[in-house]
Amino acid sequence: MMEQQNTTVALEETEIQELVSHMRGELLRPGDADFEQACRVYNAMINKRPALIAHCMDVADVIAAVNFAREHELTLAVRGGGHSGPGLGTCDDGLVIDLSGMKGIRVDPSARTARVEGGCTWGEVDHATHAFGLATPSGFISTTGVGGLTLGGGTGYLSRTLGLTIDNLLGVDMVLADGSFVTASAQEHADLFWAVRGGGGNFGVATSFLFQLHPISTVYGGPMLWPLEQAADVMKFWRDFILNAPEEINGWFAFITVPPAPPFPEQFHLQKMCAIVWCYSGALEQADALFQPIRASVPPTVDFAGPIPWPVLQSLFDALYPPGLQWYWKTDFFKDLSEKAIDLHVKYSAQLPTMHSTMHIYPINGAAHRASTSDTAFSFRDANFSEVIVGVDPDPANNERMIGWARDYWMALHPYSAGGGYINMMMDEGTDNVKAAYRDNYDRLAQIKATYDPSNLFHVNQNITPSR
């Protein structure tokens, strides 16, 4: 993340009142009743204090706030759902554009599209579209913001079936660094549309997104669990299965500690186990037959898979991961999972440092491979797996231990990786890792950045340096 703007600027009261007069939403400052609450982001490890938080209600508010930040040379952060691991939805001393007041969603059931404002979470989108028996690919936790997840790519339960979230994005309304408003789509500002499909928040504030919807209503999914002693066998089975499975079947692999609560059977509470969390979105009457060979090959110890409404599957783990926990994560893409890599996974899974800490591998083959490495800014279309190693705990006293575990685990596996990670699951790791995430697409991103944001106003993100 590059800090190119001034971070502390003495603002005159008259200047602040000028911004207030241009906004329909509230402008919060230290001392205001709601300010402390508004400073908080999802990851409690992040503790930043902006000078101003602009609670935007519409595009006009966003334009006013962008112009104000640029004219006063303030550090500018943009917050969608606030889920960024490194806290890229906030900043110290500068101005935060908080989009959480922009919640409009309009579903067009005949065109099967949804226009979604920049402050929505995926749970809100699911709620709106499920009423029409429709959905679009998103992630795994319904409280995640549409903004950050989409702009970074979006890997989730439907990646193998319908591609990444960006593969279902038809257009984006944006406020640019100069305060102008544009729509980016295949027809308009096609270069910008290419860049925002994976390039993160580098190019402007996305005030709304237009998504393609699909007839997804009740799917067949949920977790299956096995003891850790079977992890190598389950992982090998899953690798071979998911590389060749019909595209309607998605299933991500996880190492977990079983939460000490229903519906998990008591005898497994707090045991480390491995899991596959399934989502089959094909014909429900064929589901049992499709899952029979899975159940026969590696019979699960606990089996929750069955018919489940899409929004329920999407929010299954929300309660386990409420806002306010400490988070630290590391990521890599993989083309394959070698025997040696599996041995290392088994080794580090036995050391899961806290109950919430976990490791996930999401399959991103199938429909996600229909786009080439250069069709969108998201570069790793030739990878089959996206790995995230996550240290999570309520108690900051455990941070050192869980960060150490995540780093050691990542370092051990990195030599087997495709060479870069998913920008949405990186911490603040510097330019080299951002470049590694974009590979050959980085130079084109830097050129488009130079066109739309030459002074790098939008730099509180996985930053792309504008080319000179």
Secondary structure string (H, E, C) spanning 171-184: EEEEECCCCCEEEE
**Residues contacting residue 210 through CB under 8 Å, at least 6 positions apart:** 113, 114, 115, 116, 169, 170, 171, 172, 185
Closest distance of CB 144 from ligand FAD, Å:
5
Residue 298 or 427: the one with the smaller Cβ distance to ligand FAD is 427
Q: Which residues contact 78 (CB under 8 A, 6 or more apart)?
A: 89, 96, 97, 99, 147, 201, 205, 458, 460, 461
For residues 225 and 392, which CB has a smaller minimum distance to ligand FAD in the complex?
A: 392
Chain center to CA of 193: 19
Greatest extent of the chain over all pairs of C-alpha atoms, in Å = 72
Between 91 and 337, whose beta carbon lies closer to ligand FAD?
A: 91
Residue 347 C-beta: closest distance to ligand FAD, Å = 25
Burial of 3 (0-12, 13-18, 19+ CB in 10 A): middle
Nearer to ligand FAD, 200 or 300 (CB): 200
Residue number with CB closer to ligand FAD (96 or 298): 96
Of 425, 444, 367, 386, the C-alpha closest to 167 is 367
Q: Cα separations (Å) of 215 from 218, 306, 366?
A: 10, 19, 19
Residues in the chain: 468
Question: Whole-angstrom Cα distance, residue 250 to residue 363?
Answer: 7
What does the alpha-carbon distance between residue 261 and residue 46 come to, in Å, rounded to a whole number?
28
Cβ nearer to ligand FAD, comparing 230 with 455:
455
Burial of 33 (0-12, 13-18, 19+ CB in 10 A): exposed
Beta carbon of residue 439, minimum distance to ligand FAD (angstroms, whole number) = 18
Could you tell me the smallest distance in angstroms from the CB atom of residue 62 to ligand FAD?
9
State in angstroms the smallest separation of the CB of 332 from ligand FAD: 14
Q: What is the closest distance, in whole angstroms, from the C-beta atom of residue 376 to ligand FAD in the complex?
A: 14
Give dist(CA 55, CA 57) in Å, integer: 7
> Shortest approach of ligand FAD to residue 234 CB, angstroms?
21
CA geometry: angle at 216 spanning 213 and 222, to 5°? 130
Q: Which residues bind ligand FAD (CB under 6 A)?
A: 42, 78-85, 88-89, 99, 118, 139-141, 144-145, 147-149, 151-152, 154-156, 200-201, 205-206, 321, 424-425, 461
Query: At its nearest, how many Å lie between ligand FAD and the CB of residue 445?
Result: 14
CB of 367 to ligand FAD, least distance (A): 15
Q: Parallel, antiparallel, or unpaired for β 105-108 and 181-185?
A: unpaired
Partners of 367 in beta bridges: none
Least distance (Å) from ligand FAD to the CB of residue 385? 14
| Residue 213 Cβ vs ligand FAD, minimum distance, rounded to whole Å | 18
> Please, which residue, 281 or 424, has the CB nearer to ligand FAD?
424
- Contact assessment for residue 298 and residue 251, using Cβ atoms and an 8 Å cutoff: no
Q: Judged by CB, which is closer to ligand FAD: 206, or 245? A: 206
Q: How far apart are the first and last CA of the chain?
A: 18
- Are 406 and 399 in contact, with CB atoms under 8 Å apart? no
Placement of tokens 């290419």 in the chain: 194
Q: Which is nearer to ligand FAD, 158 or 258 (CB)?
A: 158
